[in-house]
A = this chain, B = another copy of it.
Amino acid sequence: MKVGFVGLGLMGAPMSRNLLKAGHTVKAWNRTKSKVDAFVADGGEAASSPQDAAEGADVVIIMVTDSPDVQAVVLGEGGVVHGMSSGSVLIDMSTISPEVTREIGATLGEHGVQMLDAPVSGGVLGAQNAALSIMVGGPTDAFERVTPLFEAMGQRITYCGGPGMGQVTKLVNQVIVAGTMAAVSEGLLFGAAAGVDLDAAFKAVSGGAANSWQLENLGAKLLQDDFAPGFMVKLQQKDLRLVLESAKEMNLPMFTTPIVHNMYRAVEGQGHSDEGTQAYIKGLEALAGVKARSEKS
């Protein structure tokens, strides 16, 4: 297929390469020009604007950070809407507001363009290995047409429902991810305060009813004083902000998620925004005056 691609960041760079590898023609735009040059060196085409990336494309893929970014590159001056032809499909793979997604979709509909929201999980490693989990909302006929593109970038591709439902599913994912990290951290900190050997405790509790991806991967990392990001605190905070904004729109009370968001705010205040989400433990440690790990010398 002929694909326009907007956003060659940590995620978009490997995703766009996987489309090239699968034999698609990809013309890309990115705010920082050097990333476009690197993309051309890898066999892609350069676009001078989002609109230019969209000209003549069957499908345009957006992979940027937040709701206003998507609004700008899709509907703003030089945005893809001005280049897309009737009958083409826009896929937004960023994680943004479900409500904003539906608004953008409605505007695109007036131009005869179908929109799919298709946020991903699996991180940079998943993007590199074409192993992303992709959660898709929007019209089923558009979903079926672009499935080969999803298959070039991901492994677990789930159709979740109508417009915005991919975003809703991604936010469900983030609520669970953040809350599970909070549970893992609070359990380990309790053990540390009580003086248990945390390596023994970790061994005892992983594998059973307490086990989770978060415990096995990020719990193990934090015990080794390893706070390199997988997924950065500031991005988790952006996603939890989207959750709480959406909950407010729905007048939905949430019980533990705002508390977890609040602790991450403290962690950001400590200067750990760019660390991995396992830095949650640093907030608890400051609150309790107890360390859950031996810091590296």
Contacts and interface: CB of A to CB of B under 8 A. Distances in A.
Interface of A: 98, 121-123, 133, 135, 156, 158-161, 164-165, 168-169, 171-180, 182-184, 186-191, 193-197, 200-201, 203-205, 207-215, 217, 231, 243, 246-247, 250, 252-257, 259-260, 263, 284, 287-288, 290
A175 B186 contact: yes
Leading 3 A-B pairs by shortest Cβ distance:
A179-B183, A212-B212, A158-B204
Q: Which of A190, A252, A287 has the most CB of B within 10 A?
A: A190
Given A165-B196, A196-B168, A255 B263 contact: yes
A173 B204 contact: yes
A176 B255 CA distance: 17
Given A208-B122, A290-B252, A191 B168 contact: yes
A255 B259 contact: yes
Contact of A182 (B159, B179, B209, B288): B179
Q: Is the interface of A mostly helix, strand, loop or mixed?
A: helix
Nearest to A164: B194
Contacts of A196: 160-161, 165, 168-169, 172
Contacts of A191: 168-169, 171-172
B187 A173 contact: yes
A169 B254 contact: no
B288 A180 contact: no
